[in-house]
Amino acid sequence: LYLACLWATSITYAALDCTTAVNITVPVSECQALVALYTGTNGPWWNVNTLWDTDTNICTWPGITCATIVGQLHVTKVWPTSNGWSLFANSLQWPLHTSSLSGLIYLQELDLSFNELYGVLSPGWSTMTSMRYFDVSDNSINSTLPSSWSTWTNIQYFDVSSNQLTWSLPSSWSTWQSPFMRNGIQTIRLFYNNFTGTIPSSWSTFTNLMIFDADHAGLGGTLPSSLSTWASLRSFDISY
């Protein structure tokens, strides 16, 4: 049994070469980003991995959605697809090497929740300026929240709950809502983490925020009076 387990964790396999493969349906950088996700999170042992890292039609991979943008197919969602395929609760394991995913510059929705990921959240994801829905909840990610994600000015739903995140909440994220944005951030879920400090006063810009859930998240101190601008708020929890 020991030898079998040792073999399973040390086996190597040939990854799809996005630079030489014929008929890749998306830009090489996006293909490489998804191959890196697959190989870096123990892809051969995912619950569902059909077509991943083998079929050059990237847009048919389970959990992947593409859309045509300026005449070119791009990966826009790593999210449950209409046929029910998803990377949600799909046994993704090992460190989350997030920097490689920065190649998905048109990504709008990402759901890697309920897996076995750890590691860091990369500042390099600041390239994903179209991000609207982001969910990496229920993993073991031990990281800080990158201040560079202030570029996510289209974000509406953000969930990093039930991880091991630390340090303070980035004040730079005030850009997630501005007077010129129709929607802006509406849901923030931070519960069960190890943050410090309080909610940044600069987040008073979140005038469309409806849900803020940060119970057992480690936050403390005095709430800024500027948060009175959260007039759309329906649910607010910072309990212990």
**Tens place of pLDDT per residue across the chain (240 aa):** 443 443 344 445 568 999 998 899 999 999 999 999 999 999 999 999 999 999 999 999 999 999 999 999 999 999 988 777 899 999 999 887 656 789 999 999 999 999 999 999 999 999 999 999 999 999 999 999 999 999 999 999 999 999 999 999 999 999 998 666 678 999 999 999 999 999 999 999 999 999 999 999 999 999 999 999 999 999 999 998
The encoded tokens of residue 192 equal 């069960």
The pLDDT score that the predictor gives to residue 2 is 40
What's this model's pTM, rounded to 2 decimal places?
0.92
The pLDDT score that the predictor gives to residue 179 is 61
Buried b (16+ CB within 10 A) or exposed e, 227-237: beebeeeeeee
User: Among 133, 182, 174, 181, which residue's Cα sits nearest to residue 151?
Assistant: 174
The pLDDT score that the predictor gives to residue 94 is 83
Sequence-ordered list of residues with C-beta below 8 angstroms from that of 108, at least 6 positions apart, any chain = 76, 77, 130, 131, 132, 133, 154
The pLDDT score that the predictor gives to residue 234 is 98
CA–CA dist 89, 112 (Å, integer): 8
* Phi-psi label, residue 141: left if phi above 0, alpha if psi -120 to 50, beta otherwise: beta
Computed over its alpha carbons, how large is the radius of gyration of the chain?
A: 19
The pLDDT score that the predictor gives to residue 13 is 56
CA–CA dist 157, 44 (Å, integer): 30
